[in-house]
Structure 1
């Protein structure tokens, strides 16, 4: 084991979150006009935290900390257009911006906070609504993985 100096077995929580073992995740606030976006992003975040396994997800009254988040913006950007018509989108990028904070329930102290962006790219097909919804779900999953990595591993 002497060649493994600097490595640590087990979870690798950030220093400011070492005492936290369980987290409550209330539904995120949605400041965008995209309907039901808060449900998609909250569910994806809970799933990502469960998969990381660093924290137990529990009710607010039983948890050590609470993850609060607000969805500030969702934007769509054309990445590629068709050859015949530059106004017709062929590939789209969805970007979701979120600000978050992790608050210790006992003291109310903010343990971590920041801004995170999740994004996805998708080729559009004839069913635009379905393609857009799938791209939003992928962006929500990307965002959730980034939030989970930030509070579970510190990056």
Structure 2
């Protein structure tokens, strides 16, 4: 019985070292240009579309996604290591499927949300990354079309935010 305990006491640290070196880590791996960054400030995106709340939805979704990921701490002050700025430059609606009886009447629509963004060094203002993200959200023309469009815009904003956050955390 004592031999088994002694062997287990010796093997336990070895097993912990082996399990700890499996490559798992908390948070994402940062891109090379952002390795220095610990905090991020998400500026309110500019809205160059005709949807009134589009920029607010994208900004909020990006802040939520970065907070959920945990790679960076959110900062609301000007002392953040990096800043994310962007603009919603296009929202378009496409007919994905028409009604069988009337080809001009849509039964399924697609909302295409297009966003440009850039990542700036918080101290110097130098542009570290520039990019764009575009996502499509589908919705059906059943019942209240305005509510369906609002929900589709919210979902597309979350998809765009996930795409931007993946670039910030995984490179």
What TM-score do the two structures reach when normalised by structure 1? 0.91
CA contact (8 A) 2:79 2:122 kept: no
Name whichever of 117-126 and 81-90 sits farther off.
117-126
Structure-1 separation of matches of 2:136 and 2:68: 20
| Matched-pair contact (CA < 8 Å) for 2:113–2:134 | yes
Distance 2:152 2:132 in 1: 21
**After the TM superposition, which segments of 4 or more aligned residues of structure 1 sit over 4 Å from their partners?**
none
CA RMSD of aligned residues (A): 1.6
TM-score scaled by length of structure 2:
0.83
TM-superposed CA distance for 1:8, in Å, is 6.0
Q: What's the CA shift for 1:118? A: 2.1
1:12-36 Cα offsets, whole Å, 9 max, x none, are 1111110011111111000111111
Q: After superposition, give the CA deviation of every residue in 1:34-68 in whole Å (9 maximum; x if it has no partner).
A: 11111111111111111111111112323111100
Question: Distance in 1 between the 2:25 and 2:55 partners?
Answer: 35
The structure that has the greater radius of gyration is 2
Task: Considering fraction of residues, name the structure with more helix.
Answer: 2
| Number of equivalenced pairs | 152
Displacement of 1:124 after TM fit?
2.0
Which of 57, 61, 68 aligns to 2:74? It is: 57
- Is residue 2:167 matched to residue 1:150? yes
In 2, Cα distance between the equivalents of 1:9 and 1:134?
34
Find the partner of 2:143 among 106, 123, 126. Answer: 126
Shift of 1:137: 0.6
Q: Does 1:94 align with 2:111?
A: yes
For the 8 Å contact 2:31–2:170, the answer to whether it is kept is: yes
Q: Which residue of 1 aligns with 2:95?
A: 78
Unaligned 5+ residue runs, structure 1?
none
CA contact (8 A) 2:84 2:117 kept: yes
Structure 1 residue aligned with 2:25: 9
Selected match of 1:137 from 154, 160, 164: 154
